[in-house]
A = this chain, B = another copy of it.
């Protein structure tokens, strides 16, 4: 079967490589049919690439090729990826993607178009890189009411936090190291401010609870305010700080979904996820907690998920996979600050007796070189709004959510 690849960057070139190097495993899944790359769309020139004869700068070459039935979109960004994908689906071609931004912003419209035209729009690679999560979650969904999802969804920030926790590096030094290693972009904003994780939360939330959640409905707080002092305090309580995307069902018509640093205690499967790895924990009423771990990014891991989706499309030509969701609404995602109760880590310029006076029951934390006018503690469970009210007159240095995953 002829397939095309749009976008020959890290993931796209990996897709071509995986297709070429995994003929046997692909044929095992397709009952003998090979995927054959007919076109590679990219505006750049790759004069030394062995696939020179496959390159095109004209999208219509793919759109108008009746033999090309499956297309991998690995361009990233909403435009022109949305326009291209829509035209391909309308032309009766299946599309698979690693483009989390597009799925988070436009997934609903693209899934509806795929349904209307009897083709598939698959996006396993858009969350967790090579980790199988979209299908397993859809599978869990068949016999579970999902109660919540929590994930370490961004490898760059997890690498930085791991270096801070394990090697005592400052945030700035760890970010520099991530950039030197190619784990972080020159402009790291999307990673360190939590925007990348936010898009993945949207996709997981949409899938888990059946209604589209958009990035502007999900508060994203990054890791730039985390200091080594916070790391050390939390370590004294046998915990680590992770950037978590969390989704929780409130009732049949409401969820919360947010990205923030969170205290995870040792014993949680999420606490031992280190370096650039990702993990997604799904909590179902029948199955309990299941957790999926692996490389959340990278050329070949992500490409292998894209190619697995292409194989699935090849096997399911003229048959629909039943993944998707319906429309969301503005008031569907409620503010976790009022809807959720949880403990909080608080670090402040204050005394222990002031902390006790405000919160009654707290667990104090310690660090080396702790100034006499600084206090750090973990509160009982409460809403963040209630916490903020109590802290109104206090000189707070940092506060971090404590997760129950």
Contacts and interface: CB of A to CB of B under 8 A. Distances in A.
Contact of A307 (B28, B136, B143, B301): B143
Interface stretch (A102-110, A286-294, A395-403): A286-294
A240 B132 CA distance: 28
Interface of A: 18, 22, 24-26, 28-29, 31, 124, 130-132, 135-136, 138-145, 210, 267, 269, 271-274, 284-295, 298, 300-301, 303-308, 311-312, 315, 319, 322
A304 B144 contact: yes
A84 to B, nearest CB: 23
Identify which of A141, A142, A267, A311 gathers the most chain B CB atoms within 10 Å of its CB: A142
25 contacts: A18-B286, A25-B142, A25-B143, A28-B141, A28-B142, A29-B322, A130-B286, A132-B140, A143-B303, A143-B308, A144-B304, A287-B294, A287-B300, A287-B304, A287-B305, A288-B295, A288-B300, A289-B294, A290-B293, A290-B294, A291-B292, A291-B293, A291-B294, A315-B322, A319-B319
A295 B22 CA distance: 33
A277 B1 CA distance: 42
Contact of A286 (B287, B290, B301): B301
B142 A312 contact: yes
Count this chain's copies in the assembly.
2
Nearest to A300: B286
Given A143-B304, A286-B304, 14 more contacts: A22-B145, A22-B286, A25-B144, A25-B145, A29-B138, A29-B141, A132-B135, A132-B140, A142-B307, A142-B311, A142-B312, A143-B303, A286-B303, A288-B300
A356 B197 CA distance: 51
A322 B267 CA distance: 37
A15 to B, nearest CB: 9
A306 to B, nearest CB: 8
A303 B304 CA distance: 31
A378 to B, nearest CB: 22
Nearest to A145: B25
Contacts of A315: 322
Contacts of A308: 139-140, 142-143
A216 to B, nearest CB: 26
Contacts of A144: 22, 25, 304
Contacts of A18: 143, 286
A75 B294 CA distance: 35
Contacts of A210: 28
Contacts of A273: 269
B272 A301 contact: no
B293 A288 contact: no
A131 B269 CA distance: 14
Contacts of A284: 130, 304
Contacts of A140: 132, 304, 308
A144 B306 CA distance: 12
Nearest to A275: B267
A267 B272 CA distance: 7
B141 A132 contact: no
A129 to B, nearest CB: 8
Contact of A272 (B131, B269, B300): B269
A373 to B, nearest CB: 37
A304 B145 CA distance: 10
Nearest to A133: B136
Which 6 residue pairs spanning A and B have beta carbons closest together? A290-B294, A143-B307, A286-B304, A130-B287, A132-B136, A291-B293
Contacts of A306: 143
Nearest to A281: B293
